[in-house]
Amino acid sequence: MNTGKFQSLEQKLQNYSNPVEMLRHAKVGGYAFPFPGEYTNWRDEQEAWTKSVVIFDQSFHMTDVYFEGPDVKRLISDLGVNTMKNFGANKAKQLVTCTPEGNVIGDAILFGHTDEKISVVGRPSVPNWVDFNARTGNYDVEITRDERTVSNAADRLIYRYQIQGPNALDLIAKASGSPLPDIKFFNLGDIKIAGKNVRALNHSMSRSKGLELHGPIEDREAVLEAILAVGEEFGLRRGGSRSYSTVSPESGWIPSPMPAIYSGDSMKPYREWLSASGFEANASLGGSFYSSNIEDYYQTPWDLGYGRHVKFDHDFIGREALEKKAEMPHRQKVWLQWNDEDVMRVFASQLGDGDRFKYMETPNAYYSILPFDKILLGDQMVGLSTYTVFTANVRHWFSLAMVDEAVVEDGKEVRVVWGEEDGGSNKPIVEPHVQTEIRATISTKRLNERS
C-alpha cells in the first residue's frame, strides 16, 4: 500500500476537480519497457519480424497474477465478455473485461496452465480487476501476484520470450534440437531448450508466425543463450524497447484502453481497493482531445475491435449494458496513414526560430500511456487517434484509431489534430508547442499488407 498522503485511488481522486485533471497532469511518460532501447538499431529490429526473426524479452513489463482453485473458471466467466466454453488446460485466450455499464476496463492474455490454475498477463488493469473480484467475491481460489519490474524489487517468477518472423519456427526447432510439436493457434505446448522444460504459446505478433516461450526465471539465461547460439543462421535480431513499442500499432492492437473505472458508484469499491501508487492512479493521459468528462474517454469492445469477442452465452459483468450497446452505432478500429508532407512539416518546425509543433519522437511518438488525438472530417470530430509510430516495414508514420463506422472508407482522408491545447500540460515530457493538423488516410487493412 502507498504510505504517502493517499492510500487508495478513490482518496487520490478527491484531490482533483475531475479524473481527467489527475491523468492529464501525471508525471510519467509512456508505458515503461524496462529493457535496452536497441540491441543493434530499431530499423533492422523492426524489419526482422517481417523478413527474418526477432526475439523480444517480455520478462519485465507485464503483470502476472495466478489464480488456482476449483472456482477459477467461474471467476473468469463472470468477468470476461468472452465465452469460456472453449477454454481450459493448455489453452490461451484474450480476456476482455467491462464495467457494469459496458465500458472496457482492459484486455489481457489468459493462460490455462491446468484445469484449476490460470494466469492473467498484461498491463495491470485486467490482472488487478480479476484480483479484486477474486478477493471480494465468493470464489474458492488462491492468488499469487508477480508484479511487473517497475513495481517489484524481487525477481520475477518466470521469463517470457516472444520469437516471431518467417524464420521463427525453424530457429526454435534448431535450438530445441528436435522437431516442434504441432501447437494450434492460442494453445500451449511443451518443448525443451538447453535441457530445460519450456512452455510454448502459439501467439502471433504483428501477424508473423512464431512462439511465445516461458519457464522458471532460473532457466532464463540458459534458454536465451541456446537461442542466440543458433540465431545467426536465421538472421535473428534481439529487439529493444524502441522497436517493441511499435509492434502493437503495426499489428493492430490498442495496448492501453482507458480503464473505465474512474467514475460511477458501481466502481467505487474498486477505486477504494486500488492503491494510490498503482498504475490506474498514475497513468498519463495525453493528446489533442480534451474533455473534462472522463467518460468521454471510455471505450466499448466495438471501439477496440473486440465486438466479435462479446458472447451472450453466459452471465458476466456488463452483459445487460452490452446487449443494449450491440444495437447502437459504434466506432471502428482502423489504421491511419499520416501524410508524409505534413509529417515533414512537423519535423521542420523544430529547426530555426518561430513556433514549433509537438515533437514526434522516432519511432514512437506517443508520449503518454493513454494517448487520444482528435480526428476531424470537415468541421466534425469523427474519432480518436491513439498510438502513433513509424516502422521500417510500413515506411510511413501511422496510428491506430477509432473512427465512427458511418465514415469508415478505405482511402478516405481525415485530419488528425497533433499537439495539446494551450501548448501543453504539466507533464515534464511535453514541451511548449502549437497545435497543427496532419492529413491522414483511413485503412481497414494492415498498412504493410498493401505494399
Do residue 196 and residue 272 come from a single domain? Answer: no
- Please state the length of the chain: 451
Of 328, 344, 374, the residue at which a domain comes to its end is: 328
Give the CATH number for residue 372: 2.40.30.110
d(CA 56, CA 357) in angstroms, rounded, equals: 33
Do residue 17 and residue 64 come from a single domain? Answer: no
Q: Provide the β-strand partners of residue 153.
A: none
Ligand-binding annotation for 212, yes or no, is yes
The pLDDT assigned to 4 comes to 56
Number of domains in the chain: 2
Do residue 92 and residue 107 come from a single domain? Answer: yes
The pLDDT assigned to 306 comes to 96
The pLDDT assigned to 266 comes to 97
Mapped onto helix, strand or coil, the DSSP state of residue 388 is strand
d(CA 248, CA 242) in angstroms, rounded, equals: 12
Q: pTM of this prediction? A: 0.95
Find, among 347, 332, 275, the residue nearest to 302 by Cα: 332
The pLDDT assigned to 2 comes to 39
Q: Which three cell numbers stand for residue 342?
A: 505534413
Of 307, 328, 349, the residue at which a domain comes to its end is: 328
Do residue 165 and residue 275 come from a single domain? Answer: no
Pairing outcome for strands 370-371 and 285-286: parallel
From residue 21, alpha-carbon distances to 13, 104, 294, 375, 405 in Å are: 9, 21, 9, 22, 30
Residues in the chain where the model's pLDDT stays below 50: 1-3, 450-451
The pLDDT assigned to 425 comes to 65
Do residue 272 and residue 403 come from a single domain? Answer: yes
Domain residues for the domain of 161 are: 31-260+298-328
Mapped onto helix, strand or coil, the DSSP state of residue 38 is coil
Do residue 266 and residue 310 come from a single domain? Answer: no
> CB under 8 Å to 181, separation ≥6 — which residues?
189, 190, 191
DSSP state of 184: P
The pLDDT assigned to 1 comes to 35
The share of the chain scoring above pLDDT 90, in percent, equals: 90
What are the φ and ψ backbone dihedral angles of 356, each rounded to 5 degrees?
-120, 150
Do residue 140 and residue 216 come from a single domain? Answer: yes
Do residue 40 and residue 90 come from a single domain? Answer: yes
d(CA 274, CA 79) in angstroms, rounded, equals: 18
Q: Which three cell numbers stand for residue 245?
A: 513499442
Amino acid at 160: R
